[in-house]
Amino acid sequence: MAAELVGGALLSAFLQVAFDKLASPQFLDFFRGRKLDEKLLGNLNIMLHSINALADDAELKQFTDPHVKAWLFAVKEAVFDAEDFLGEIDYELTRCQVQAQYEPQTFTYKVSNFFNSTFTSFNKKIESGMKEVLEKLEYLAKQKSDLGLKEGTYSADGSGSKLPSSSLVHGCLASCCCC
């Protein structure tokens, strides 16, 4: 049972990282600059939010329903695949920024034909991989009624419906007079 709880926390953490990356203006600029399909980012964001809305209910039901447990495992795999692609894009974005900062313009111009073929290969890999992940997530999201999963309420930042149980105010206990 503890492993499932840790797995749920891990899924939430990966989803939060994905939401942060997808909200980054640099990601959208990267897609535009590479002439990648921007709709993929939007669709991935929507699908991850849809899956996140089902995750709390699934994490509770996995203990009594083996089908939900298997569904949750498949969701985690798909989310990890999405995170892998977002990580590759993030790496490429950082690499391009560093390269542009340290290499002279003339060198970049001379080898642009070489990089165009590399970019095209990278673009195809990313687009096809993201489409595959989207198909998996869509398939999994469509199974919610068959599994009896209900969408929960979670905050816009994807952190879930659980509120912190603390009496801290500005970092101090509410009863403390030091604040």
Checking if the pLDDT of 108 tops 60, the result is no
Q: What is the pLDDT of residue 36?
A: 84
What confidence category does residue 95 fall into, taking pLDDT thresholds of 50, 70 and 90? confident
pLDDT, average across residues 120-146: 91
Q: For position 9, what pLDDT does the model report? A: 66
Q: What are phi and psi of 173, to 5 degrees?
A: -65, 140
pTM, 2 dp: 0.70
In this structure, which amino acid lies at residue 136? K
User: Is 54's pLDDT higher than 60?
Assistant: yes
At residue 26 the predicted structure's pLDDT band, cuts being 50, 70 and 90, is: confident
